[in-house]
Structure 1
């Protein structure tokens, strides 16, 4: 049997990755088929030759010059480089809407080719999310096209099942706890890896939609898991900011006061920590490599190159800036405090303030303490100092002061709200105090976020004198 002219392991890996990214390139399928044939894997070779179509016919049954070329792989790589120069990231949402919807609704038209691996590939790789979510902007005129485009751009990184949804928006902010409309659900089929698409909203498809209840149940469970991922991811990032190194394990985050970066352990956090840490390290490395180099070269192309590889978070959320930590925004104009992430309000609370005594500006949570001054006084059961000052976010024993300007500058919350906030945001969380930025109607979640306490986070040796 004649030995393949490109049988180096790196060449074979390149070919597999190439046809994943360019499933319509028949030459790539032909060359991969030749590899399988030379290796004696006739079934996989035949599959690839079928995808190659007329290219196989031309090369195997005629004396086409390229068929005997010793530089086929090099020419294929050159073709890909030319294609990358034309466009770095393919925006499939520019496809005409009727054609796109037709491709979505008829799987045989919109099927995606899948290369046969040396072994059976499981539907979900170890550590990979089983469900992905695309949050489609309300202003998007073609939501189905937008969602499908995000999945196509993600390529093999996309989870096997993806839900596209509209979240309620107010004042330019997406509302995590607002009304959500599920638009469609996409799932990779078996065999030819076709996308099986269920349209869930008649306004998107102009059709009789499928039953959305199963997808709604999956979406609700995913949201609970996503909150755990946000908090754990934020804690890992803030630990690195505070200590200039990555945490080795979850225990490094959950420590006694004053090193209590994370205020306990959430369900599933121990299992998700290793993969999340690895993904954050990769994201940080890519961001570092994208920084400007000496000589004035820009980073626009580099940033675009890494966007596709980092656009899906550890829990399957399609979002380029998924690794950005949670932040707190306080709006003094309407007495609202919100936990936010990339334009999305994850939590919002009604707060008590001090009017002009509450300073606007940028702060961070420099201390987190449980039961300050015993926990039954004017500061309630939780306190979070802002930037080592006398200003703090804390509880109160005066419920009627919530929504009013009666403090000496601090931010007061009700007991249930401050305890949830204490668990959700880690030490080091940025805090922005502004005038006029948040929607006024704070909306409580159906289920409170909670961590199971593991360490002593109290500080009985200190008498706190925050400007309550």
Structure 2
């Protein structure tokens, strides 16, 4: 499997290259991983038949493989060189940036000197300096750690500069900014409760920021131990998932009812008003700030102002542990079902938060865009019945995402069209997405790798979410 790393990267970047899929399949085949090999061969289309059934000389595809691997390795080395150069450039830039005087400050001092009052000039100058330095460079808080996550090798969630930029808004960096690394798979960025620490930025006073890399490939070094930050990072990722659920629920409530939920209990009504399955202490704290953000967005205004960001930099509010004092996920949650490899993902924009294995019905499972219209616990009154312990109705159909009493069918095409999930997975999904969540069912959209945390997402339920008045006949 020495070549599989580069081949896997290559097909992620070039999913339409049939030969790349075929070569990756051969690597899996040699390693005895026949399931993965067959998946790759299916993606390779006619290339597989051309080389396997016609017995074409092996030196032809081996020569192609050699060139392809060389190309992927060269690109890998170029990426490492670019990252190193960027880090050096940043450090040089920080060292060369001069201090900037406040506008009008020198002019006031000159006017005072012309009036033959040097003591007044000195006093006014010092007072102005103290005021500006206090607002621009508050004393760093050594104990404050804030977080964000960015694409591996990048400086923002999309590989671009983070906003607000820590190098141009140093007064907001009152403690240490820890940046976690989002791995990239094809067009997707992979969220994980235990993402590796990429680097930190620390405010060491006016005009001084300390950069510490924790990625040995990026710094070509043996990085410092980041284990002390891992516990805080794990807590932060959990808070972001809670806020993503709540933000999505408020948006869905507004889209479906035309009004805003004015209190948390508006989202926690008994079935069928159970927009969310339950709550957490973090969700209760974040409700009003998130509600105000959604209202501001609905009015077409920018939801984050300077005062809010500054308060976050001082450790205040539910978003204070996130860079920019705003939720990390700025797009509502969505469910994507990939029929080609039996996967169901929870996504926000191009970030995958979960990727589950599911059972489907082959051609019986419809494709298209839907919305979750009902969320019910123990469909038909049974937690171990044919629909398991949770069910989520798809709009305008007789299909649902639900559990099953046939766990072996998960990963296969044995349903009549519904999406089947294991008990643990469907119960986490039920808690993680609100009613009104969009659902896209298609082919070929998701990575094959299953993505579930050891510690599952869970809310504390406060309302009855069963529906004993109805017998469901999902397919």
Normalised-by-shorter TM-score class: 0.5 to 0.7
Structure 2 partner of 1:172: 187
Does the C-alpha gap of structure 1 residues 279 and 194 become closer, same or farther in structure 2, counting only changes over 3 Å? farther
Give 1:381's aligned residue.
Answer: 389
CA distance in 1 between counterparts of 2:392 and 2:124 reads 60
Cα distance between partner residues in 1 of 2:269 and 2:107: 52
- Three-state SS of the structure 1 residue aligned to 2:427 is helix
Partner Cα separation in structure 2 for residue 466 and residue 406 of structure 1? 14
Tell me if structure 2 keeps the 8 A contact 1:33–1:46: no
Distance of aligned partners of 1:28 and 1:283 in 2 relative to their CA distance in 1, 3 Å threshold: farther
2:228 is aligned to: 214
Structure-2 residue corresponding to 1:344: 351
**TM-score normalised over the length of structure 1:** 0.66
Q: Deviations over 1:404-443 (max 9, x none)?
A: 1111111000111000000000000000001001011213
Deviation at 1:244, TM superposition (A): 1.4
Q: CA deviation at 1:449?
A: 0.3
Tell me what 1:390 maps to: 398
Q: Using a 3 Å threshold, how does the CA distance of structure 1 residues 208 and 405 change in structure 2: closer, same or farther?
A: closer
Which of 1 and 2 has higher RCO (CA within 8 Å, sep 6+)?
1
Q: Which residue of 1 aligns with 2:216?
A: 202
Residue in structure 1 matched with residue 371 of structure 2 by the alignment: 364
Q: CA offset at residue 210 of structure 1? A: 2.3
Q: Which moved more, 1:393-402 or 1:144-153?
A: 144-153
Structure 2 distance, partners of 1:248, 1:137, is 39
SS of the residue corresponding to residue 152 of structure 1 reads: coil
Could you list the runs of 5+ residues in structure 2 that have no partner in the other structure? 1-96, 113-119, 313-317
Three-state SS of the structure 1 residue aligned to 2:238 is: helix
Give 1:408's match in structure 2, choosing from 400, 405, 416: 416
Separation of aligned partners in 2, 1:280 and 1:122: 31
Match of 1:103 in 2: none
Q: Post-superposition shift, 1:274?
A: 1.9
Q: Displacement, 1:151?
A: 2.2
Which position in structure 2 is the counterpart of 1:161? 176
Q: Which residue in 2 is equivalent to 1:116?
A: 134
Residue 209 (structure 1) shift:
2.5
Instruction: Tell me if structure 2 keeps the 8 A contact 1:29–1:49.
Output: no
Residue 264 of structure 2 corresponds to residue 250 of structure 1: yes
Alignment of 1:40-439 (within 5 A): 45-46=125-126, 48-49=128-129, 115-117=133-135, 131-138=146-153, 146=161, 150-152=165-167, 160-177=175-192, 180-189=195-204, 192=206, 194-285=208-299, 288=300, 314=319, 316=322, 322-375=329-382, 376-439=384-447
**Over the residues paired in the alignment, what is the CA RMSD in angstroms?**
4.1
Aligned length: 358
Verify the 8 A CA contact 2:151 2:183 in the aligned structure 1: no
Aligned-pair distance for 1:261? 0.5
Matched, 1:450 2:458: yes
Residues 29, 48 of structure 1: 8 Å contact kept = no
> Is residue 394–residue 412 contact of structure 1 (8 Å, CA) maintained in 2?
yes
Given candidates 78, 101, 105, the residue that maps to 1:30 is 105
Q: CA deviation at 1:254?
A: 1.1
C-alpha spacing 1:200/1:455, structure 2 compared with 1 (3 Å): same
Three-state SS of the structure 2 residue aligned to 1:227 is helix
CA distance change for structure 1 residues 173 and 271 in 2, over 3 Å: closer, same or farther? same
Distance across 1 between alignment mates of 2:164 and 2:369:
37
1:222 Cα deviation from its structure 2 partner: 1.1
Identify if the C-alpha distance between structure 1 residues 270 and 50 changes in structure 2 by more than 3 Å, giving closer, same or farther: closer
Matches of 2:201 and 2:219, distance apart in 1: 14
Deviations 1:379-414 (A, max 9, x none): 111100011421100010011111111111110001
Structure 1 unaligned regions, length at least 5: 1-21, 52-113, 291-302
Distance 2:358 2:241 in 1: 22
Aligned counterparts of 2:265 and 2:136: Cα–Cα separation in 1: 39
Distance 2:403 2:284 in 1: 29
Instruction: Give me the whole-angstrom Cα distance separating, in 2, the residues matched to 1:464 and 1:181.
Output: 44
TM-score where L is the length of structure 2: 0.65
409-418 vs 171-180, greater mean Cα deviation: 171-180
